Amino acid sequence: MTLPDRIRVLERGWLSSNNIVFLDDDAGASVVDTGYVTHIDETIRLIDEAREGRPLRRIVNTHIHSDHAGGNARLKALHGCEVWIPPGEADLVDAWDEDALSYRRTSQQCPPFSYDALIHPHDTLRLGGEDWTVLPAAGHDHAMVMLWCAHLGILLSADALWQKGFGVIFPELAGIPGFAQQKATLELIGQLKPRLVIPGHGAPFSGAAVDAALMAAHSRIDWLMEEPRRNSDNALKVLLAFKLLEAQRLTVGELTELVRTSLQGNVAMQAHYPHDPEAMAGFMAEQLVRAGAATRDGDVLIATR
Ligand SMILES: [Zn+2]
CA of 166 to the centre of ligand 1 (A): 9
Residues in the chain: 305
Distances (CA, A) of 161 to 93, 106, 107: 25, 21, 24
Report how far ligand 1's centroid is from the alpha carbon of 218 (Å): 19
pLDDT by residue for the chain (305 residues), tens only, comes to: 789 999 999 999 888 999 999 999 999 999 999 999 999 999 999 999 999 999 999 999 999 999 999 999 999 999 999 999 999 999 999 999 888 888 887 888 999 999 999 999 999 999 999 999 999 999 999 999 999 999 999 999 999 999 999 999 999 999 999 999 999 999 999 999 999 999 999 999 999 999 999 999 999 999 999 999 999 989 988 888 888 988 999 999 999 998 888 888 788 888 888 778 888 888 889 888 998 989 999 999 999 87
Residues with CB under 5 A from ligand 1 (ion): 65, 159, 167
Distance 298 CA to ligand 1 centre (A): 33
CA–centroid distance, 159 to ligand 1, in Å, is 6
Distance 186 CA to ligand 1 centre (A): 16
Domain residues of the chain, as ranges? 7-226, 232-303
pLDDT for 101 = 85
Assign domain 7-226 to a CATH class: alpha beta
- For residue 297, report the distance from its CA to the centre of ligand 1, in Å: 31
**Ligand 1 centroid to 6 CA: how many Å?**
25
Distance in Å, CA 278 to ligand 1 centroid: 27
Q: Distance between CA 128 and CA 24 in Å, rounded?
A: 4
Residues 6+ apart with CB under 8 A from 215: none
Alpha carbons 145 and 189: distance in angstroms, whole number: 12
Determine the distance separating the centroid of ligand 1 and the alpha carbon of 225, expressed in angstroms. Answer: 19
Distance 69 CA to ligand 1 centre (A): 10
Q: How far is the CA of 145 from the centre of ligand 1 (A)?
A: 11
Span from the CA of 262 to the centroid of ligand 1 (angstroms): 16
CB 149, CB 130: distance < 8 Å:
yes
For ligand 1, the distance from its centroid to the CA atom of residue 24, given in whole angstroms, is 26
For residue 18, report the distance from its CA to the centre of ligand 1, in Å. 11
8 A C-beta contact, residue 285 and residue 301: yes
